[in-house]
C-alpha cells in the first residue's frame, strides 16, 4: 500500500487533476493539511465556486489572497499542526486585474486599461477561463509567497487538459498574427481596416456616440507594452509545470467514466512531458465483513426483517466493492502499475475538519 508521502517527497508543487466530482478539492485540502501537519508551510489554491473547502475548514469564505488557517481548528482531530496551512479560493476577475496592475508600465496606462470598455469585456471573458487565472496566481505564489509547497486544485467539470495547455495558448495568442497586427505601431486606423470598415466605425460613432475604434486602439496600444510580461509569465509557469519538483496526481473514483478519463489524462500528461506522480483513487467501497451467509444466530437476535435487510445491504456493498476492484484493476493495467493511494468511501460527505482529517489519514496510510 502506497502512502502519499512517497509521491510528494521533495516536491514543491502538487497538481490534483481529474474529472468532475471525484474529490480533487477534498484531496488537495487533505494533502495540504497533512503536509502542513508535518511541518511545511503549505498553500492550497482551490478553484471551488461551491466553497466546499472553505466550509470544510469551518470558514465562511476564502479570499483571493492566501489566508492562514488557524491551527487550533485541527486540535481534537488527531492532527497536530507543526507547520502552517494557508488557503485561497481563486477569484478570476481579481487575479486578472492584479496581473494588469503588475504589468502596466505606469499608473496612467493602468487606469486607461481598467477604464477601457474593451478591457472590461475582455477581462470578464478571459477571467472566465480559470486555467488562465490559476496560472497567473501560481506564478505569483511561486515568486512572492515563501511557501514550501503549493497544492493546486484544478477546475471542476472543465477538462484538466485545458489547464496543461494554458501557458502555451497564452503565448500563442500574443505571438499570433491577429494580435501582432493590432499591436503594430501604425495602429488600427491605417493598414488593418479598409476604407469601408473605417466608415462603418465612423457611422457607429455617429449613431451610438461610442467610439469603438478609439476604445479598441487605446486598449491595444496599452496592452502592447505588456505582451512581454504576459509571455514571460506563461513561460515561467510552463517551466514550473514540467519541473521535476512538480508532480501531477490524478484523482479519480473507481467508477467507469472517471477511470476512462484518468487513463486519457495520463496519456496526455505523458505526451506533454509533465511529471506524473501517481493515482489517488477516492471513494472506494470496501467489501463488507459479512460475506455471504449471515453470522449464525443473528436472525434470532435482531428479528427476521432486520436480518434480511442486513443481508441485502451486505450483498449490495459486496457488489459495489467487486465493481470498484474490477475498475481499479483495469486502471492499474492501463497505466502500467502506477503508485496508487486508496481513500475509501465515507458514509458522510467530507464537509468538516474531521472528514478532511480522515481523508488525510488514508492518504498517509495511517488511518
Ligand X SMILES: Nc1ncnc2c1ncn2[C@@H]1O[C@H](COP(=O)(O)OP(=O)(O)OP(=O)(O)O)[C@@H](O)[C@H]1O
Could you say which of Mg ion, ligand X, none residue 11 binds, taking C-beta under 5 to 8 angstroms by partner kind? Answer: none
Could you say which of ligand X, Mg ion, none residue 346 binds, taking C-beta under 5 to 8 angstroms by partner kind? Answer: ligand X
Residues 72-105 as b/e (b if ≥16 CB within 10 A, e otherwise) read ebbeebebebebbbbbbbbbbeebbbbbbeebbe
According to CB under 6 A, which one of 15, 17, 24, 133 is a site residue for ligand X?
Answer: 24
Residue 22 binding ligand X, by CB under 6 A:
yes
Residue 13: closest CA among 251, 235, 245, 242: 245
Q: Give dist(CA 16, CA 153) in Å, integer.
A: 5
Q: Give dist(CA 52, CA 8) in Å, integer.
A: 24
Question: Measured from the CB atom, is 17 or 216 closer to ligand X?
Answer: 17
According to CB under 5 A, which one of 19, 25, 56, 89 is a site residue for Mg ion?
Answer: 25
177's grid cell:
498574427
Residue 253 binding Mg ion, by CB under 5 A:
no
State the DSSP H helix or E strand holding residue 264, giving kind and residue range, or none if neither: helix 256-271
Residues 29-58 that bind Mg ion (CB under 5 A): 48
The residue count for binding Mg ion (CB under 5 A) is 4
Residue 89 binding ligand X, by CB under 6 A:
no
According to CB under 6 A, which one of 80, 304, 316, 349 is a site residue for ligand X?
Answer: 349
In which residue are the cell numbers 492499474 written? 332
Evaluate whether 133 touches 95 at the Cβ level (below 8 Å).
Answer: yes
Stretch that binds Mg ion, among 54-62, 72-80, 150-158, 229-237 (CB under 5 A): 150-158
Residue 15: closest CA among 155, 187, 117: 155
According to CB under 6 A, which one of 7, 8, 25, 254 is a site residue for ligand X?
Answer: 25
Residue 116 binding Mg ion, by CB under 5 A:
no
Residue 282 binding ligand X, by CB under 6 A:
yes
In which residue are the cell numbers 455617429 written? 206
Q: Give dist(CA 21, CA 71) in Å, integer.
A: 28
According to CB under 6 A, which one of 172, 191, 351, 366 is a site residue for ligand X?
Answer: 351
The residue count for binding ligand X (CB under 6 A) is 18
Q: Calculate ∠ Cα 290-293-296, nearest 5°.
A: 95
Handedness of CA 57, 16, 145, 104 (dihedral sign): negative
Could you say which of ligand X, Mg ion, none residue 131 binds, taking C-beta under 5 to 8 angstroms by partner kind? Answer: none
| Contact characters 99-138, ligand X, x per CB under 6 A | ----------------------------------------
According to CB under 6 A, which one of 41, 51, 52, 73 is a site residue for ligand X?
Answer: 52
Applying CB under 6 A, the residues found at the interface with ligand X are: 20-26, 52, 156-157, 282-283, 343, 345-346, 349-351
Amino acid at each position: 500500500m502506497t502512502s502519499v508521502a512517497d509521491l510528494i517527497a521533495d516536491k514543491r508543487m502538487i497538481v490534483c487533476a481529474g474529472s468532475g466530482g471525484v474529490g480533487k478539492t477534498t484531496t488537495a485540502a487533505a494533502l495540504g493539511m497533512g503536509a502542513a501537519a508535518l511541518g511545511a508551510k503549505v498553500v492550497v489554491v482551490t478553484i471551488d465556486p461551491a466553497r466546499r473547502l472553505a466550509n470544510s475548514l469551518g470558514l465562511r469564505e476564502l479570499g483571493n489572497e492566501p489566508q492562514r488557517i488557524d491551527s487550533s481548528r485541527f486540535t481534537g482531530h488527531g492532527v497536530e499542526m507543526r507547520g502552517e496551512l494557508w488557503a485561497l479560493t481563486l477569484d478570476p476577475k481579481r487575479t486578472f486585474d492584479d496581473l494588469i496592475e503588475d504589468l502596466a508600465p505606469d499608473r496612467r496606462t493602468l487606469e486607461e486599461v481598467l477604464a477601457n470598455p474593451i478591457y472590461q469585456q475582455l477581462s470578464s471573458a478571459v477571467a472566465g477561463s480559470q486555467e488562465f487565472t490559476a496560472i497567473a496566481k501560481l506564478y505569483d505564489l511561486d515568486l512572492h509567497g515563501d511557501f514550501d509547497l503549493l497544492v493546486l486544485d484544478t477546475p471542476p467539470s472543465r477538462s484538466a487538459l485545458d489547464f496543461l495547455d494554458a501557458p502555451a495558448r497564452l503565448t500563442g495568442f500574443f505571438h499570433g498574427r491577429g494580435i501582432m497586427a493590432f499591436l503594430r505601431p501604425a495602429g488600427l486606423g491605417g493598414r488593418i481596416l479598409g476604407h469601408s470598415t473605417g466608415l462603418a466605425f465612423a457611422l457607429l460613432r455617429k449613431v451610438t456616440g461610442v467610439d469603438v475604434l478609439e476604445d479598441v486602439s487605446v486598449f491595444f496600444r496599452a496592452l502592447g507594452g505588456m505582451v512581454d510580461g504576459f509571455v514571460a509569465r506563461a513561460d515561467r509557469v510552463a517551466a514550473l509545470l514540467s519541473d521535476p519538483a512538480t508532480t501531477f496526481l490524478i484523482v479519480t473514483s473507481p467508477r467507469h467514466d472517471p477511470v476512462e478519463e484518468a487513463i486519457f489524462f495520463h496519456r496526455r500528461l505523458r505526451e506533454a512531458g509533465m511529471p506524473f506522480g501517481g493515482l489517488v483513487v477516492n471513494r472506494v467501497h470496501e467489501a463488507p465483513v459479512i460475506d455471504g451467509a449471515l453470522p449464525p444466530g443473528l436472525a434470532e437476535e435482531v428479528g427476521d426483517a432486520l436480518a434480511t435487510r442486513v443481508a441485502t445491504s451486505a450483498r449490495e456493498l459486496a457488489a459495489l466493492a467487486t465493481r470498484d476492484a474490477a475498475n481499479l484493476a483495469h486502471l492499474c493495467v492501463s497505466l502500467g502499475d502506477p503508485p496508487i493511494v486508496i481513500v475509501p468511501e465515507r458514509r458522510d460527505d467530507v464537509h468538516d475538519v474531521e472528514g478532511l482529517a480522515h481523508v488525510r489519514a488514508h492518504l498517509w496510510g495511517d488511518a
